[in-house]
Amino acid sequence: MHPIDGVTCIQGDLYDQEVLDQLPVADVVLSDAAPKTTGDSRDQYKSYLISVRALEIALLRLKKEGSFIVKIFQGEDFDAYLAEVRKHFDFVKCTKPPTSRNESKEIYIVAMGFRGREEGYESYKRLLEGD
Ligand SMILES: C[S@@+](CC[C@H](N)C(=O)[O-])C[C@H]1O[C@@H](n2cnc3c(N)ncnc32)[C@H](O)[C@@H]1O
């Protein structure tokens, strides 16, 4: 990664606790992370798992009223994921940028007005456990 003035770069796997430990409390958590695609439905499931981790990071690091933007490939888990995001934010919208190919399953969820971790972290854990 090339250094950028005024920017602290942390390079690592977003599943690593060490990476999470280095992340400050933030106004915005934005995830453009995506798996290497193979063209089958496993891509959507891998994207879902990455998005679940991104949401966990948002719940642990966002300031109250903060924003969360996440890319996800739409698949069978999408509706449950979106419903979970809605529990934590006042305003949630899905958008597909013009630069995204029509045949691509990718979509961005834009969530604003984080309600705060206390109000719903338990329901997130249920999503993780598959309840
Ligand atoms: C669509 S690209 C993002 C491109 C980026 N926005 C840019 O402009 O360079 C998806 C990225 O997600 C990263 N990624 C996938 N799984 C990850 C993980 N577990 N931890 C960290 N990055 C991951 C991939 O390495 C890849 O670089």
| Close Cβ partners of 77 (under 8 Å, ≥ 6 residues apart) | 44, 45, 48
Q: Is 71 a catalytic residue?
A: yes
| Close Cβ partners of 129 (under 8 Å, ≥ 6 residues apart) | none
pLDDT score for 1: 84
User: Which parts of the chain register pLDDT below 50?
Assistant: none
Question: How many Å apart are CA 88 and CA 123, to the nearest integer?
Answer: 10
Q: Which ligand 1 atom is at minimum distance from the Cα of 15? A: 19
pLDDT score for 40: 85
The finding on whether 34 has its CB within 6 A of some atom of ligand 1 is yes
The finding on whether 79 has its CB within 6 A of some atom of ligand 1 is no
In the chain, domain spans: 26-129
Q: pTM of the predicted model, to two decimals?
A: 0.90
pLDDT score for 125: 67
In CATH terms, the fold of domain 26-129 is Rossmann fold (3.40.50)
pLDDT score for 107: 95
Q: Are 53 and 71 in contact (CB under 8 A)?
A: no
pLDDT score for 131: 57
Q: List the catalytic residue out of 64, 71, 93, 125.
A: 71
